[in-house]
Amino acid sequence: MTPTTEAAAPRSRWARIRLGALGPLIALALLMILGAILNDHFLSLANLANIVARSSFIGIIAIGATFVITTSGIDLSVGSMAAFIAGMMIIIINSLVPSMGSGWSAILVGILAGLLIGTAAGAANGILVTAGRIEPFIVTLGALGIFRALITFLANGGTLNLNAQASDTYSPLYSGNLLGIPLPIIIFALVAIIAEVVLRRTTFGRHIAAIGSNEQVARYSAIKVDRVRLMTYALQGFLVALAAVLYVPKFGSANSSTAVLWELQAIAAVIIGGTTLRGGFGRIWGTVVGVVILELIGNILNLQSFISPYLNQAFQGAIIIIAVLLQRSRKTTN
Amino acid sequence: MKLLKTTALAAIIAGGALFAGAAIAQDKTYTIGVSVPTADHGWTGGIDFFAQQAIDRLGKLYPNVKYVLATAPDSTKQAADLEDLVTTRNIDALVILPGDPDAMTASIKKVKDAGKWVTIVDRALSQPGIPDLYVAGDNPGLGATTAAYFKQAMPNGGNIVILRGAPIPIDKQRVDAFMDGIKGTSIKVLDSQFVN
């Protein structure tokens, strides 16, 4: 009995790993082939660079969401938080321009302030979840409303615009490149690499996965569950602020309709990438692939004039459902 | 509202015709990109409908001009559309109704700097001097006419509240013209709020 089962087990585990990991990659490859067929300019460096650069906003936020979801939590406030942080950054930079000039010094203070505000906002979510013992869904749903109202209040129902000279200094952070690669892509890649290392190779990362898969066992294993949870929410807040730091040079304004529904796109990217919503397992590079897939759908629909552009979100929704179905069928067959 | 839809139609025809008229002399194919907000309510629905109609009509009139229509629900997607139109569809000219003109200013400036002919419809940008053609309704006139009506309807003054539209520059033009119009009368504005 035992020798045959031992011989059978390694082969099915290998098959399971291959299917699970390759799913998002196969989808990405198919979409790339479709795009290349539809339009000659699809595979041009400029187009691909555009796609990856503009997925950096949702991508950086989704990497933070991967950590949160792996602990079986969730953060619905990321879109409104991004809008709030962008608004605060614009206010701070605009108020510093008269005294510090419109050069990098005022902008760096604004960036630092934004990162601090984001981390603090994330930590506030985390404290309510851990010490307050409130469901993450409820806490972040409330935070979503609070931040959205705050940005509307700060903009007085209108729009906050970045000072024009400061905007000229700041915009190379999004449109500039280093060695030919756009800066947002470099920052996105750095965040993804560091996050993958943290999740896979550090104790912190293993604790996150442990808490997500079975919180009670993690607690009995002397893992500081509350502290780790708090840190994931604070990390999410920091990454949301980083996305806002990249958003402000491209768009230069913030109002009540900024970053609406970004949380759903981030969570969708995380799910497509292979991280399970119930927690316990996280895949950072899967999230990156998921973000690029979602952005590719919009790009491919722009390449042709046959399908109505209104159907963009229908395709995104369909891909999310298919991705989850594939994950589920893999589990049941094993 | 019909006036504004006709304005949008006129913009597409004007922008397209001005460009296509020059194009018809040569035998080259030109592409005009049209970027409008998604039809999330009646007015934008009308914009999209009449834009599509104008495209169909002009497509038959000028056979060597192609049109590409892109709709976007928010400024992030509209900026992405502009990048795609320039990079993958190789447009020569752009006709755009920016959903959020402040957020779109930098993106439209990039299209202009890439050498494309830019027409902006209805909502002006936060910086002047970017579009080659700006087509809009007479927004100050709208405000002034409304003020004239109120002066006539309320000769002895009274209390009014102002429900403003989207927080964009043309709304400011209308409200400023209205406030100028009722200056000196005893019409009192109790409150003025953005409700869009």
Higher-confidence position of A228 and A159: A228
CATH value at residue A155: 1.10.3470
CA A276/CA A205 separation, integer angstroms:
16
SS3 content of chain A, % helix, strand, coil (to 5): 80, 5, 20
Looking at the domain assignment, is residue A261 inside a domain? Answer: yes
More confident residue, B17 or B104: B104
More confident of the two residues A10 and B32 = B32
The model's confidence at residue B40, banded by pLDDT at 50, 70 and 90, is confident
Instruction: Reply yes or no on whether the pLDDT at B52 is more than 50.
Output: yes
- Of the candidates A41, A161, A305, the beta carbon closest to that of B88 is on A41
pLDDT in tens, B164-193: 887 777 888 899 999 999 988 889 999 988
Q: How many CB atoms lie within 10 A of CB A180?
A: 7
Q: Which residues of B touch A258 (CB under 8 A)?
A: 75, 103
Confidence of residue A123 (pLDDT cuts 50, 70, 90): very high
3-state secondary structure labels for all residues of A87-140: HHHHHHHHHHHHHHCCCHHHHHHHHHHHHHHHHHHHHHHHHHHHCCCCCHHHHH
Collect all residues from A whose CB is shorter than 8 A from any CB in B. 39, 41-42, 44, 46-47, 50, 54, 57, 155, 157-159, 161, 164, 167, 171, 175, 250-253, 255, 257-260, 295, 298-299, 302-303, 305, 309-310, 312
Spatial CA neighbour of A234 closest among A51, A12, A38, A64:
A64
Nearest CA to B94 out of B108, B106, B105 is that of B108
CB atoms within 10 A of CB A27: 19
Take residue B93 and report the two structure tokens written for it: 């000219």
The answer to whether residue A40 scores a pLDDT higher than 80 is: yes
What local confidence, expressed as pLDDT, does residue A224 receive?
95
Structure tokens of A120? Answer: 């603090």
3-state secondary structure A259-313: CCCHHHHHHHHHHHCCCCCCCCCCCHHHHHHHHHHHHHHHHHHHHCCCCCHHHHH
High-pLDDT (> 90) share of chain B, %: 56
Give the residue numbers spanning the domain of A176: 35-333
Flag whether A7 is in a domain. Answer: no
- Report the gap between the CA of A260 and the closest CA in chain B (Å): 8
Rounded to two decimals, the ipTM of the complex is 0.86
Domains of chain B plus CATH, in order, are: 2-135 (3.40.50.2300), 139-194 (3.40.50.2300)
Q: Residue A333: pLDDT above 80?
A: no
Q: What distance in Å separates the CA atoms of residue B64 and residue A267, rounded to the nearest whole number?
A: 44
pLDDT tens digits, residue range A13-38? 655 556 667 788 888 999 999 999 99
Q: Is the pLDDT of residue B87 over 60?
A: yes
**Selection from B76, B124, B112, B128 nearest residue A250 by Cα:** B76
- Closest residue to B103, CB basis, from A253, A303, A312: A253
If you average pLDDT over residues A311-321, what whole number do you get? 83
B52 close to A (CB below 8 A): no
Alpha-carbon gap: A311 to the closest alpha carbon of chain B (Å): 10
At which residue do the structure tokens 């991280």 appear?
A275
Q: What is the pLDDT of residue A329?
A: 59
Q: How many domains does chain A have?
A: 1
Q: Do residues A223 and A211 touch, judged by C-beta distance below 8 A?
A: yes
pLDDT tens-digit map of A52-73: 999 999 999 999 999 999 999 9
CA atoms within 13 A on the CB side of A205: 15
Mark yes or no for CB contact A310/B70 under 8 Å.
no
